[in-house]
Amino acid sequence: MSDVKAEADKSAEQQSSKEKSSGEKSAVEKSTIEKSSSAKIVAAPLDAARFDAKRVAVQMMVGNQFVQPYHFVMTRLKVYGRENIPKEGSLIVVGNHISHFDPPLFAFVTHRPMIYMAKSELWDNKYMGRLLDWLGALPIKRGKPQLSTVKFIRQIMKTGWSLGMFIEGTRCKTPNSIGKPHVGAAYFAKVTNSKILPIGFIGTDKRFGPARVNIGKVIEPGDDLEAKTWEIMDALAELTGFQILERKMADKE
């Protein structure tokens, strides 16, 4: 009888130990899952191999199969001023920003392979981050570009790529307006010795348009970044007919 009782006690002890071990394992797994789900997606590394013929094909495919059909059907997009686009040489393509659909238009309207600058916070969303990597975007902290990113952009632009940027660094939510500018476009034009191509977006924020893209004359790079920034802003205001909300640099806030 005592042997039976001892065997039962031993079995119960083993079961308890097993449940405890299982509980600890579940807790560890839960903790790992929580950490994994809360972790931010890291942008693709600064690898020149990303910006090859395959990336160009991706950008052209997105333009031809998605951007063009969407705007043809929905916004009746018209593009003016393509004669102002230089035949060769890298460009800093700068636009005002009113819609999430604006970035792909840089490559579409210029027919140039394009590096995109996007605020680093967009990579907090893993799906958005992967899409941006796929399209050839690079994360940047507004007002604080990392030296490694600057060097990388210079390297890629030497191979014929252009750089697409928005002067405000974010969408302007005030209708028919351009927000406070950053000096980024003027800065990259200077360090890469590239001409600046201003592009005005009108109506791309309206679902059913009509939308219009006006391409202006190129602006030469210069040493005075603030003065050059306002030259770009004035060009964008003329191309869009929009008002400049405040004649104050965003970088000085």
**Looking at residue 187, which CATH number applies to its domain?**
3.40.1130.10
C-alpha closest to that of 163 among 152, 179, 148: 152
113 and 34 together in one domain: no
Q: What is the pLDDT of residue 253?
A: 56
In angstroms, the Cα distances linking 119 to 27, 137, 145 are 36, 10, 10
18 and 55 together in one domain: no
Q: What is the pLDDT of residue 45?
A: 63
Range of the domain at 11: 1-39
33 and 107 together in one domain: no
Q: What is the pLDDT of residue 39?
A: 46
Sign of CA dihedral 145, 85, 202, 133: negative
35 and 57 together in one domain: no
Q: What is the pTM of this model?
A: 0.77
107 and 6 together in one domain: no
Rounded-to-integer distance, Cα 200 and Cα 193, Å? 22
Q: What is the pLDDT along the chain (253 residues), one digit of tens a residue?
A: 444 445 545 555 555 555 555 555 444 444 443 443 444 555 566 777 788 888 888 888 888 888 888 888 899 999 999 999 998 888 999 999 998 888 889 999 999 999 988 777 888 888 888 888 888 888 877 656 678 888 888 899 988 899 999 999 888 989 999 999 999 899 999 999 999 999 999 999 988 889 999 999 999 999 999 999 999 999 999 999 999 988 888 866 5
